[in-house]
Structure 1
Amino acid sequence: MSAMPAPDLPTLRWGIIATGLISSWFVKDLVLDRPDAKARHIIKAIGSSSREKGQVFAQQYCPQEPPSIYGSYQEVYADPSVDIVYIGTPHAFHVRNCLDAIAHGKHVLCEKAFTLNASQAREVFAAAKDRGVFVMEAMWTRFFPLMRDLQVKIHEENVIGRVQRVFCDFSLDMDIDSLPDDSRLKNPDLGAGSLLDIGIYSLTWGLLAADPNIASKAQMPSILASQKLANGADVATSAILSYPNGVQSIVTSSLSFATAPQFCRIEGTEGFIILEGPVHSKARDGDATAEARTFIFDKPGMGFYWEADAVAIDISEGRTENEIMPWGETIRVLEILDEVRRQGGARYSCD
């Protein structure tokens, strides 16, 4: 039997907004018994479009301590037993959900893409600053040990010399034509398309492999982008990020074809690194003459608890933003996504 987290660890009481797939993954990870847990997480409330859906969700994913079930999000925001709200709604609703939670004095962890554009993100962060609450974009892969170790190997140990190029693709075969027009992957009013849903992953790997810095300290690349559109939403996006030092990151996404296991290649002056695995669990490095080395990163569950633990520690120590995913980095990424869409043609009503 796994060891429970120590009682003196930081504790967060969560309210979950929406009961879709991403919320189920998050909650399943939070209730796992982990001997190396850095925080204790309690699911106190579930908010759904109906109490019935919330009850089914809680029965499946919250068996230990049954949470309060609400048929509206506002009831979660108003629940005094909730410290922080996790937002797992479609992208288009994030700004309203965040602002409503902040207005009630709740901390917020909001799924990526944080908002539809950079302007909306600035509005959320301004509200959070006024209320003094913690807010973070839930870009979970940034908190993976693999990501942190990769940063060290590339930018500190220089295992492949100077980075020259990065290729990264995140794509899924979603059979778009068969989906209803109101699908979150098809309806522009919901922030549909490949870019905000999975292209943000390609961009994240492309940015962090090319430059060790984030937010205002990072270089801002020039961008050349193209999109394939259907009913106003992008079904495929390609972008070349060119840095002043000559490094290029080529990042792509699609809803029509599944990415191969080797989803990212980072090339340097003295070798290359290949990232592979459906949930980014393996990395290989090597060059044309040297024997390749493989590094395996195992984890229980899916790995959402790493970001949740980081949030709990920040809040317990009085911080309102996280150093791995600070507000400035969310805005920088959204500014790049905005420019990709400007060039590619995908538009949202809020633009």
Structure 2
Amino acid sequence: MGSHNESVPTLRWGVIGTGLISSWFTKDITASRKNPRATHIIQAIGSSSLSKGNAFVSQHLPTLDPAPTVYSDYQSVYNDPAVDIVYIGTPHALHKQHCLDAIAAGKHILCEKAFTLNATEAREVLAAAAEKNVFIMEAMWLRFRPLVTSLRKVLYEEKLIGDVRRVFCDFGLDMNISSLPDSSRLKDPAMGAGSLLDIGVYALTWGLLTLESPESIPSEKPRIIATQTLRNGIDVASSFILTYSATGRQGILTSTVEVRTPVTFLRIEGTEGYILVEGVGASAPRSYTVYPKINPAAETVEGKKYEFEVEGSGFYFEADAVAENIARDEKENEVMPHGETLRVLEILDEIRRQGGARFPQEG
């Protein structure tokens, strides 16, 4: 791994999958920024065909110079000696095998969430990465946003709303699943379809980030109470409660592919006030507002708003962190460590166990 700028690391990416998430990621990490922490080069694109790969570059990365090498398969990306790390942006059900193939070639990995279909698959992937001594991380970009760091400071250092008692978070998108072809990754259970792994993982992440203080992690496992609405084998809606017996805190968390959530998607209630978090969705928060304890006699309530300007979409926060980890020869990231990836998947597994959603691979 070389560097154009001696003060920041350079990372050369091979990208697997040419869907929407890969387009967002590649455009964001290569866009010009004021104070970049790393330099990112899209070295190679792997697609199911040359025409599809070339179309991806023409549409999403038309000004990159030099242009990335386009391969009509994934293995060529893994084998490319100029690639430092593979970004895996394929459907959930394919993550395990794509990770294992990239690991076998000795490549570092950033794999989109959900990391794998379940915790069993994740353990296999992480064990392979450890044996090959490569860096690997789940691409939960939400955890790397400055807003999240600020919010946790307000909650657990400054304690602006006292003791956190309850959290309500919803991530809903109106995806009109019935109109999609059966082959769509959003409709095919074999591809990990359903609201839970696609967007419910964000609601769960917000619950964990806001209900658990830094000193409590991971001393107490939350109890899970869950239900799901299934249509044609996939969950179109998932609702789950996290309860913490030691603190009494509760998180009421939901996801759906049938209704879009309003701009305010998260409410955190404490003994001395509450916080509302706003954004285009739970995956992309833009601001939060701290309010004092509700007074029924007050005609108006003034809150203090914290706004966060993001250059582009904000995928570069996680990409920069990965570049810094690899430059320090680290094999996992402290913000999204392997243990947390496993814990999240174990909770998702329990939600599906109670709710009834199953993937064909699980028997």
| Shorter-chain TM-score tier | over 0.9
Displacement, 1:219?
A: 2.2
In the superposition, the TM-score normalised over structure 2's length comes to 0.93
Show CA shifts across 1:147-186 (max 9, x none). Answer: 1111111011111000000000001000111111111111
Following superposition of structure 1 onto structure 2, how do residues 28-67 of structure 1 map, counting pairs within 5 Å? 28-62=27-61, 63-64=63-64, 65-67=66-68
Distance (whole Å) between structure 2 residues aligned to residue 74 and residue 174 of structure 1: 32
1:19 aligns with 2:24: no
Q: From the superposition, tell whether residues 177 and 198 of structure 1 become closer, same or farther in structure 2 (CA, over 3 Å).
A: same
Distance (whole Å) between structure 2 residues aligned to residue 111 and residue 317 of structure 1: 22
Q: From the superposition, tell whether residues 106 and 214 of structure 1 become closer, same or farther in structure 2 (CA, over 3 Å).
A: farther
Q: From the superposition, tell whether residues 116 and 214 of structure 1 become closer, same or farther in structure 2 (CA, over 3 Å).
A: farther
8 A Cα contact 2:15 2:42, kept in partner: yes
Q: From the superposition, tell whether residues 207 and 195 of structure 1 become closer, same or farther in structure 2 (CA, over 3 Å).
A: same
Q: One-letter code of the match for 2:78?
A: Y
Following superposition of structure 1 onto structure 2, how do residues 163-174 of structure 1 map, counting pairs within 5 Å? 163-174=164-175
Following superposition of structure 1 onto structure 2, how do residues 108-123 of structure 1 map, counting pairs within 5 Å? 108-123=109-124
Distance (whole Å) between structure 1 residues aligned to residue 214 and residue 223 of structure 2: 16
1:327 aligns with 2:338: yes
Distance (whole Å) between structure 1 residues aligned to residue 166 and residue 121 of structure 2: 32
Q: One-letter code of the match for 1:302?
A: S
Q: One-letter code of the match for 2:273?
A: G
Distance (whole Å) between structure 2 residues aligned to residue 61 and residue 266 of structure 1: 37
1:301 aligns with 2:312: yes
Displacement, 1:332?
A: 0.2
2:254 corresponds, among 231, 252, 255, to 252
Distance (whole Å) between structure 2 residues aligned to residue 323 and residue 86 of structure 1: 19
Distance (whole Å) between structure 1 residues aligned to residue 272 and residue 217 of structure 2: 29
Following superposition of structure 1 onto structure 2, how do residues 1-351 of structure 1 map, counting pairs within 5 Å? 6-62=5-61, 63-64=63-64, 65-213=66-214, 217-244=218-245, 245-278=247-280, 279-287=284-292, 288-289=294-295, 291-351=302-362
8 A Cα contact 2:161 2:273, kept in partner: yes
Displacement, 1:329?
A: 0.1
8 A Cα contact 1:214 1:329, kept in partner: no
Aligned residue-pair number:
347
* 2:298 corresponds to: none
Show CA shifts across 1:60-90 (max 9, x none). Answer: 3332220100000011001000000000000
Gaps of 5+ in 2: 296-300
Cα RMSD of the aligned pairs, angstroms, is 1.3
Deviates more, 1:273-282 or 1:288-297: 288-297
Percent of pairs with identical residues: 57
Q: From the superposition, tell whether residues 281 and 336 of structure 1 become closer, same or farther in structure 2 (CA, over 3 Å).
A: same
Q: One-letter code of the match for 1:327?
A: H
Q: One-letter code of the match for 1:315?
A: I
Distance (whole Å) between structure 2 residues aligned to residue 186 and residue 214 of structure 1: 40
Displacement, 1:218?
A: 4.7
Distance (whole Å) between structure 1 residues aligned to residue 215 and residue 97 of structure 2: 26
Distance (whole Å) between structure 2 residues aligned to residue 191 and residue 214 of structure 1: 34
Displacement, 1:217?
A: 2.2
Gaps of 5+ in 1: none
